[in-house]
Chains A and B, each alone.
Chain A
């Protein structure tokens, strides 16, 4: 299917027909810069500027991924509060990349809820389990299970398979 990025993802930038900074981008870059500057000083400003640059030229989740990379790089060894602040700061960047303008409340709420649940799950796993590999393994397993469940539901809903997996064999 030959579709342009703008056709596929009607983001705020696509609606504005430009790659100018959107309000969500601005909020995200500001919060991220603030969170990282508080803990890492000048590197936080550098991180904020680079994220701002990517936000201006790119669409999709690239800005969010770069912000996460900066957060991981600069917040190693920090306490939970700066990490949580950085994660909250990156949420507007994700909203900017995925929601249309004006933002669909349902989609926005769904994304926020999933973001909170994922973060809460990570926190629970990290504090509840003894080893980091256990936390990572359980989290990835849970994510894969949810993804497979959705995939299976879709197949049943469109009539590609029957609800009973044994019957398909």
Chain B
């Protein structure tokens, strides 16, 4: 309990009267001091009663509208104060925000219970600038007695928690058909012998082999001359094509399709760096290639690409139209058109579309992903490994780009983020979308020298595969 300036003024006046009585030697000023003192003591007694009543009857509850959030998100925090019995003095109930939260000013976090009120509530919006487990654990109550002579600050316990997660993907699943692939990258053996450090095999000596190739230990053990051959180390050019169009922005904050795709792309860069492979990178959106680099194997190259990947954010723009139809190549279309009956209305209507190969090609070749893949393949004058990170929203474009890559590149790896597993489509019952995706992924995977993987949150993949299995059964 702290006295206010009003109390100090009155107590000072009482002391003045007491001193005045001593100076005058009269009793009248001391009676005046006595009257004021009586009033101050009664006021203090009332304040004590008010404060103890408030302490025993006041309860406060705090709730956060979402139990989890990402860094930078806003959340509504609601505080409700309830008195089991009304008080005769006003009290302010303030939500104490943790230091790690950007909270509004005190006025917006405070609810005032006027005399006679029994409940009050306030809602404020807070921002989480850093990750961690945020707990709103304290509510501060400020009481001023009805005479304005004393104040007291009480604290009440609250237990509102919010888990603020960093804006990065968690549980990245890279696999095929729901089966996790441990490592998509690693040593890349060339399966050819020659100068190198990695032992490949031993074989019997044949005329023409040099003496330096003889493995003397094996020769001594086998009593015949043996040759030890070493595997030739290869040097792959890693060509990275990352799609960062607005359609890759699907998913919650920090866990968008691009976030997952970026994790994979960063892993590819790390793998290339660990092998000393040269690397080139292209980042494309809906309209054009927005950034390209390399090829280069300098130490700065990996860092530059990493930095660019981390800085890349999908531009808010028109989402690419989802191509729901299966891609059909012009040759297939022509074959099907030949199977159409002569002059039926169905055939007449459909035939022009199937023969229109030119528009099909132009439709695909104008797309930036296709163009980027084609460019990457063109610049590779040695063994290369093309990595494409995109989603399944434009199946035709992706398919044709991968077809080109399969023809021109030594090895092509496609990382696809399923649209069905991001955003609202992750709800149960949407596994049909994942089945369609899986069909598309298998189609890509069947192309020569192409490996296609799905990239998605592990939990979403498990849910989707379980539902797909249940549907099949």
Please report A residues at the B interface, Cβ cutoff 8 Å. 1, 3, 5, 7-10, 60-61, 64-65, 68-69, 71-72, 75-78, 80, 83-84, 86-87, 90-91, 94, 98, 107, 110-111, 114-115, 117-119, 121-123, 125-126, 132-133, 135-136, 139-140, 143, 146-147, 150-151, 153-155, 157-159
B118-153 vs A, Cβ < 8 Å mask (1 yes, 0 no): 000000000000000000000000101011100110
Q: Report whether A135 and B30 are in contact in the complex, using a CB–CB cutoff of 8 Å.
A: yes
Query: How far is the CB of B108 from the nearest CB of chain A, in Å?
Result: 14
Give the residues in chain B near A125, CB-CB below 8 Å. 30
On whether A132 and B22 interact (CB within 8 A), knowing A61-B10, A139-B33, A150-B48, the answer reads yes
Query: How far is the CB of A133 from the nearest CB of chain B, in Å?
Result: 5
Q: Report whether A98 and B115 are in contact in the complex, using a CB–CB cutoff of 8 Å.
A: no
Q: Report whether B28 and A78 are in contact in the complex, using a CB–CB cutoff of 8 Å.
A: yes
Query: How far is the CB of A74 from the nearest CB of chain B, in Å?
Result: 9
Q: Report whether B39 and A136 are in contact in the complex, using a CB–CB cutoff of 8 Å.
A: no
Q: Count the B residues whose beta carbon is within 8 Å of the partner chain — how many?
A: 55
Q: Report whether B17 and A72 are in contact in the complex, using a CB–CB cutoff of 8 Å.
A: yes
CA distance A109 to B290 in the complex (A): 85
Query: How far is the CB of B333 from the nearest CB of chain A, in Å?
Result: 77
On whether A154 and B48 interact (CB within 8 A), knowing A8-B148, A147-B40, the answer reads yes
B45-60 vs A, Cβ < 8 Å mask (1 yes, 0 no): 1111001100100000
Give the residues in chain A near B115, CB-CB below 8 Å. 7, 10
Cβ 8 A contact of A9, one of B21, B22, B92, B147: B147
B27: interface (CB < 8 Å): yes
CA distance A139 to B89 in the complex (A): 30
B394: interface (CB < 8 Å): no
Cβ 8 A contact of A8, one of B22, B30, B55, B144: B144
List 5 A–B pairs whose Cβ atoms lie within 8 Å, in order of A's numbering: A61-B39, A64-B39, A65-B10, A78-B28, A139-B18
Give the residues in chain A near B276, CB-CB below 8 Å. none
| Sample of 17 more A-B contacts, CB < 8 Å, known A7-B115, A83-B28 | A8-B144, A10-B146, A72-B26, A78-B28, A84-B31, A111-B38, A111-B42, A114-B42, A115-B38, A121-B34, A122-B30, A136-B33, A143-B14, A143-B40, A146-B41, A157-B51, A159-B55
Q: Report whether A83 and B31 are in contact in the complex, using a CB–CB cutoff of 8 Å.
A: yes
A143's nearest neighbour on chain B, judged by CB, is B37
Give the residues in chain A near B15, CB-CB below 8 Å. 140
On whether A72 and B29 interact (CB within 8 A), knowing A7-B90, A61-B10, A153-B48, the answer reads yes
Q: Report whether B26 and A133 are in contact in the complex, using a CB–CB cutoff of 8 Å.
A: no
Please report B residues at the A interface, Cβ cutoff 8 Å. 1, 6, 10, 13-15, 17-22, 24-48, 51-52, 55, 88-90, 92, 112, 114-115, 142, 144, 146-148, 151-152, 154
CA distance A125 to B38 in the complex (A): 16
With a 10 A CB-CB cut-off, give which of A80, A111, A154 has the most chain B CB atoms: A154
Query: How far is the CB of B55 from the nearest CB of chain A, in Å?
Result: 4
CA distance A119 to B39 in the complex (A): 12
Q: Report whether B37 and A65 are in contact in the complex, using a CB–CB cutoff of 8 Å.
A: no
Cβ 8 A contact of B35, one of A78, A90, A135, A159: A90
Query: How far is the CB of B81 from the nearest CB of chain A, in Å?
Result: 14
CA distance A15 to B220 in the complex (A): 116
Q: Report whether A136 and B30 are in contact in the complex, using a CB–CB cutoff of 8 Å.
A: yes
Q: Report whether B33 and A119 are in contact in the complex, using a CB–CB cutoff of 8 Å.
A: no
Query: How far is the CB of A107 from the nearest CB of chain B, in Å?
Result: 7
Q: Report whether A122 and B34 are in contact in the complex, using a CB–CB cutoff of 8 Å.
A: yes
Q: Report whether B31 and A119 are in contact in the complex, using a CB–CB cutoff of 8 Å.
A: yes
Query: How far is the CB of B114 from the nearest CB of chain A, in Å?
Result: 7
On whether A94 and B39 interact (CB within 8 A), knowing A9-B148, A132-B21, A158-B52, the answer reads yes
Query: How far is the CB of B97 from the nearest CB of chain A, in Å?
Result: 19
CA distance A151 to B29 in the complex (A): 27
CA distance A75 to B26 in the complex (A): 9
A151's nearest neighbour on chain B, judged by CB, is B1
On whether A143 and B41 interact (CB within 8 A), knowing A3-B90, A3-B144, A155-B1, the answer reads yes
